[in-house]
Amino acid sequence: MFRSIVPIAKNTFTDLVRQKVFNIILIFALCAIGSSLLMAKLTFQEEFQMLKDVCLGAMSIFTSLLAILATASFLPRDLEDRTIYTLLSKPVPRFAYLLGKLAGIILLLFLFTALMSAVFCAVLWFREQEVLRETMAQMQGAPAEELQAALAGVTNATFNINLLPGILIIFIKSALLASMTLLISTFATSSLFTVMIAAAVYFIGHLQATAREYWMQGMSSNVFTTTLAAGLALLFPDLQAFNLTDDVIAGAAISWNIFLQTFALGWLYVTVYFAVGAFIFSGREL
């Protein structure tokens, strides 16, 4: 079975690469370099904060978009060009086909996140070196202690070790979205329907925590609103749990415990959504 998953994953990955999705990296690089040039008139603390805000925000937008749009097109396209019939007529279980597709997109999302992180780090590093050089030139006659403090101020404003778990959580969120979109596409009739439902789930998912609190704290005695809140809390993913970069940029630290729990929760969502998707797909008439 593993033999059939790997080629499907490889094929999915290659297919997506051929669709030139990596051009988004180019847009991301332009975003990062452009914003760093645009913000050169701000103080270096402001500039680095903006650069991190814009780049991590763009990373989150691009990975989420790619996860939803690319995954939504798998099944309808394979049905349209009849590839799925050729594949499933061979001894390839339906869930292996789906798993191969999911593995391919997750691999692509990982590579995509890694490349965007590399561009982001490179832009930040170049700007940091520039600001360090300027600071050294401005403080030529200053005592060594003051110079060291000023240089440390620049370095502290740029790289923060907490950015790494923050970026990994952006990746896991995109994998969750891919798995969720795949689940939707197993019963959807078109890719447009899948994209629309996935987008709706994306927005509702960011409000799931509010609905959950509303339900659990018994804020309303109205049966309809309580049932609605319970339904939202039970059926939709809590996407706010994966939005940690905003506060990481602001200086908050992600402890190992929180990181591992968030990471594990993300994979749990991926696994369960895939399993439910495979269950629906196994009974679908093709």
Partner 1 sequence: MIRKVVAIILLAVFGAIRLPLEMKLDAEQKAAHLRKPVLNLDLRERVGQMGFLAALSGFRSPLAAMLWIEAHNAWEKTEWGRMAGLFDTVTILQPRSTLYWDMASWHMAYNASVAAREDKKQPSEMLRIRNEKQYIELGKHILENGIRNNPTSAFLYERLGVILRDKLNDHCGAGEAFLRASEQPNCPPYVSRFAGYEMAKCPDREREAYDLLLKLYNKGPEERKPSLVTTLQDLEKKLDIPEAQRITLPPQEEGH
Stretch in the footprint of partner 1 (CB under 8 A) among 74-82, 85-93, 190-198, 255-263: 255-263
Stretch in the footprint of partner 1 (CB under 8 A) among 74-82, 94-102, 108-116, 237-245: 237-245
Q: Is residue 164 within the footprint of partner 1 (CB under 8 A)?
A: no
* CB nearer to partner 1: pick between 57 and 93: 57
Q: Is residue 222 within the footprint of partner 1 (CB under 8 A)?
A: no
**SS3 of 211-234:** HHHHHHCCCCCCHHHHHHHHHHHH
* Residue 10 beta carbon to partner 1: minimum distance, rounded to whole angstroms: 29
Asked whether the beta carbons of 259 and 169 are under 8 A apart, the reply is yes
* Burial of residue 115, with CB atoms counted within 10 A of its CB: 0-12 exposed, 13-18 middle, 19 or more buried: middle
Structure tokens at 69: 């749009």
Secondary structure (DSSP) of 40-85: GGS-HHHHHHHHHHHHHHHHHHHHHHHHHHHHHHHHHHHHHTTHHH
List the one residue from 12, 181, 191, 262 that touches partner 1 (CB under 8 A). Answer: 262
Asked whether the beta carbons of 208 and 239 are under 8 A apart, the reply is yes
List the one residue from 21, 25, 33, 61 that touches partner 1 (CB under 8 A). Answer: 61
* Residue 97 beta carbon to partner 1: minimum distance, rounded to whole angstroms: 17
151: number of Cβ within 10 Å? 15
Alpha-carbon distance of 194 to 199, in angstroms, equals 8
* CB nearer to partner 1: pick between 16 and 124: 124
List the one residue from 118, 133, 246, 267 that touches partner 1 (CB under 8 A). Answer: 246
Give the interface with partner 1 as residue ranges (CB under 8 A): 38-39, 41-43, 45-46, 49-50, 52-54, 56-58, 60-61, 187, 202-203, 206-207, 209-210, 212, 216, 233-235, 238-255, 257-258, 261-262, 265, 268, 272, 276, 279-280, 283
